[in-house]
Structure 1
């Protein structure tokens, strides 16, 4: 059976811990200012307890029990998030040294590779020391902004679905598979076709090279201050060699990142906005951990992170976006909730202090002292398609527009935080050249009409590009004269229509549907 090795090696050499691993039954917020707390290195936090390394457990002035006596190698311990509601606890790939509720800590025998995507297991990740930071100063959301409202209105459900379908069609996006590399290359190309600078950040996982895909809109006033929207691009099922379409987990989050980039590229912002699709999340948050560690080492000033992971499943009574946060992220969560309520009031949003929710990529930022929140479907533990071959777009057909509203709300939150300063002049949003080209109908399924206005009689060349960067159709245009074009034979999806004349050029997006 194919096995994906559990990440046990960090970027630095292994951490030899002479201290004991201890369980402290106290809300960490109530003891952070005590003298004895200063001597601890925290590795996991729950609402009612936390786990830490302590060289002198006797100094802890709270109910405390030793889980594991030192010395031991911290890299040999892993945190396991179990999936509530998925039956009896599975046999875990190592010695269980702690278990409470849906959390366990295991010791991996000699660094033996462990399977990923096991039934009943949400995530297995290395046990890491958490270095919390201070809360960033985030102003309250007060004034309505018409530019943000325009961005929210520009979010297209057809565009979101088209991206999810495309990612699903790879069959699998297992991080060690060639299909993942192809998906990452496609996302990188997609950003470029939407006028956003991007690159692939390479990292290694047990000898396999893979990548995060990172795009950026530089801030016009404070470019060194950064807001991030992110999601993981990889998928998994059990056993891992099977088909893993990963529509909800997590093509939905990746589509949200791309859609946010598409509508926000039309504007400039006070602060830098980064759009990131992470690799190897399903095998231990590997890509995001690499990114967050390198960002911390580089001194990046990340003011806030919005991580989206599974936003399609919304059964009756549970059509809610859940946003857990930790202590350093409370102000960020509050600002995000306010923005979502202002611009997308139809979406039910619940924010909640829950530092135990470390099963997705926002956790990598928590560990490095950056404010971050997760946006996830409230009924995730009841999703019957989770980590299965049935995680396809068709399985969620009855839950729309929940997913679209989650994307709209995320755009509203990110744009509010980044603070738009005006149109960018690219890809729309007030660009003079963009307004010259009209494509109708859009979305379309048969024949489209392309019209170029504003330059009477001028000739231009027009080309339609697929998301892989290849030209799929081309034709000459005369300004003021509508041109009909049959697109019936083109596959459904998102395209870019580019035109160029002797005096100007521009582009527009085209969505083809069934």
Structure 2
């Protein structure tokens, strides 16, 4: 019924500036993306990946029904199907490299990952990446013939990546999105190493890597059942920090403000703003204690990269031969996957990727000054020419030095320098975010080399 109230609301909406309406629409899109991932699609994809018996990196490559060769061809076909449905919006290909002479790959073996690129419309050489791992294993990491279902570790991550592509391929973004199914993780992170080096050689400006490794388990070995939290692992100082940069950081701070840490804070904020019943736990560590994942090769080259995963792991279901021993059932089988939870973590990825790709490039060349002064001044480079119209302005953030999240902020307009009066530099950490005409923000950039997302 068209009442007087709805008529008035329509008049008010029409009276709003076009930009305000556009902002509302972008926020609505992000909420829609957060609701879109399908648990049924993820279940179907995990079932298919499990059906290949084993996806061990050294396993069968010629069969159409068993081994990693069949798995990667199916993944490529799925990406191509998604691309066909969006009018060819994905560039689907293999990322390959030959590995040999390694402890877990002694003989020459082609490590083949599958990638799909959704090109941005204004800044196509700016990239964000979502990844999952194709390969699986049992107790003996060199056993490439036994059944290794790898339902949660890590068919769940690949299924989530495929589903994110289905959701996000319905939209256009300013920056480019890469969906990657990486091989060789269990044998030494080789798929990630190959893709990270290829990206560097190609000059990709990578602003975020979201590695998904085990996103489907909600029943932990500690007895906790939890479908409302997720962990985001984020390392501190850059692995490729120079001695000069380390000396500077010692006097100015930044050990807790690497681009990777600020990417984790960004994902945490995305969950708060757009996700229902999901709390993100940033973990300030590269990965689980003394362990690793496929984000690390990107960290090694200085790119911001995090691992997104379940909060409570069940070690009886990881890297185990299929067996029952002393009444305990071992093995990474599909009955241990919570598909609705995997869809929820997929949604966290999708809305984070969308926000990152709609946002402008994070500010570059951020500097700060204010020693022996009542005021703090931050400056940064002007937006890239291809993004100048996209940028509405900038937002300065600051927090007490013992706080884990940003506490205070101020929008400062489309300038390249701003002074916070009577805010003493000694007492806070500072950063700057770019803001789009749609009100979408980039991650916060800490001043100097310690926090730089690059140009």
User: Using the alignment, how far apart are the partners of 2:136 and 2:96 within structure 1?
Assistant: 18
Asked if the contact 1:340–1:410 (Cα under 8 Å) also holds between the matched residues in 2, the reply is: no
Asked if the contact 1:171–1:244 (Cα under 8 Å) also holds between the matched residues in 2, the reply is: yes
Structure 2's unaligned 5+ residue stretches are 1-22, 62-66, 84-89, 101-107, 237-257, 323-330, 361-455
Aligned mate of 1:184, from 72, 79, 83: 72
Q: Does 1:332 align with 2:263?
A: yes
Aligned mate of 1:345, from 267, 276, 283: 276
Structure 1's unaligned 5+ residue stretches are 1-141, 422-514
Match of 2:213 in 1: 309
User: Using the alignment, how far apart are the partners of 2:203 and 2:278 within structure 1?
Assistant: 36
Deviations 1:264-308 (A, max 9, x none): 111100100000010100011011011112222332210111000
Asked if the contact 1:347–1:402 (Cα under 8 Å) also holds between the matched residues in 2, the reply is: no
User: Using the alignment, how far apart are the partners of 1:353 and 1:420 within structure 2?
Assistant: 25
After superposition, residues 47-126 of structure 1 pair within 5 angstroms as: none
Structure 2 residue matching 1:267: 3-state secondary structure: coil
Structure 1 residue matching 2:139: 3-state secondary structure: coil
**How far off is 1:340 after superposition?**
1.9
Aligned mate of 1:159, from 41, 47, 53: 41
Aligned residues: 277
**How far off is 1:163 after superposition?**
0.3
Aligned mate of 2:152, from 244, 248, 251: 248
Question: Greater relative contact order: 1 or 2 (C-alpha under 8 angstroms, separation 6 or more)?
Answer: 2
**How far off is 1:330 after superposition?**
1.3
Greater shift after overlay, 227-236 or 354-363?
A: 354-363
**How far off is 1:400 after superposition?**
4.8
Match of 1:124 in 2: none
Match of 1:229 in 2: 130
Distance 1:154 1:345, change over 3 A: closer
**How far off is 1:355 after superposition?**
2.9
After superposition, residues 198-209 of structure 1 pair within 5 angstroms as: 198-206=92-100, 207-209=108-110
TM-score, with normalisation over the residues of structure 2? 0.58
Aligned mate of 1:266, from 163, 166, 170: 170
User: Using the alignment, how far apart are the partners of 1:218 and 1:400 within structure 2?
Assistant: 29
Question: RMSD value over aligned CA atoms?
Answer: 1.9
After superposition, residues 422-461 of structure 1 pair within 5 angstroms as: none
Asked if the contact 2:46–2:156 (Cα under 8 Å) also holds between the matched residues in 1, the reply is: yes
Asked if the contact 2:122–2:174 (Cα under 8 Å) also holds between the matched residues in 1, the reply is: yes
TM-score, with normalisation over the residues of structure 1? 0.52
Structure 2 residue matching 1:321: 3-state secondary structure: strand
Asked if the contact 2:215–2:310 (Cα under 8 Å) also holds between the matched residues in 1, the reply is: yes
Which structure features the higher share of helix residues? 2
Match of 1:197 in 2: 91
**How far off is 1:404 after superposition?**
1.6
Match of 2:342 in 1: 403
Deviations 1:97-136 (A, max 9, x none): xxxxxxxxxxxxxxxxxxxxxxxxxxxxxxxxxxxxxxxx
**How far off is 1:230 after superposition?**
0.6
Aligned mate of 2:230, from 310, 321, 329: 321
User: Using the alignment, how far apart are the partners of 2:29 and 2:155 within structure 1?
Assistant: 27
**How far off is 1:383 after superposition?**
3.1
User: Using the alignment, how far apart are the partners of 2:71 and 2:37 within structure 1?
Assistant: 22
Match of 1:371 in 2: 304
Structure having the higher Rg: 1
Match of 2:56 in 1: 174
Deviations 1:206-262 (A, max 9, x none): 211231101011000111110000111111112323210000000000001000000
User: Using the alignment, how far apart are the partners of 1:208 and 1:199 within structure 2?
Assistant: 19
Q: Does 1:280 align with 2:184?
A: yes
User: Using the alignment, how far apart are the partners of 1:332 and 1:393 within structure 2?
Assistant: 31
Which structure features the higher share of strand residues? 1
User: Using the alignment, how far apart are the partners of 1:408 and 1:268 within structure 2?
Assistant: 17
Structure 2 residue matching 1:245: 3-state secondary structure: coil
After superposition, residues 204-215 of structure 1 pair within 5 angstroms as: 204-206=98-100, 207-215=108-116
**How far off is 1:420 after superposition?**
8.2
Asked if the contact 2:43–2:339 (Cα under 8 Å) also holds between the matched residues in 1, the reply is: no
User: Using the alignment, how far apart are the partners of 1:160 and 1:323 within structure 2?
Assistant: 21
Q: Does 1:418 align with 2:357?
A: yes
User: Using the alignment, how far apart are the partners of 1:420 and 1:269 within structure 2?
Assistant: 9
Aligned mate of 2:198, from 290, 294, 306: 294
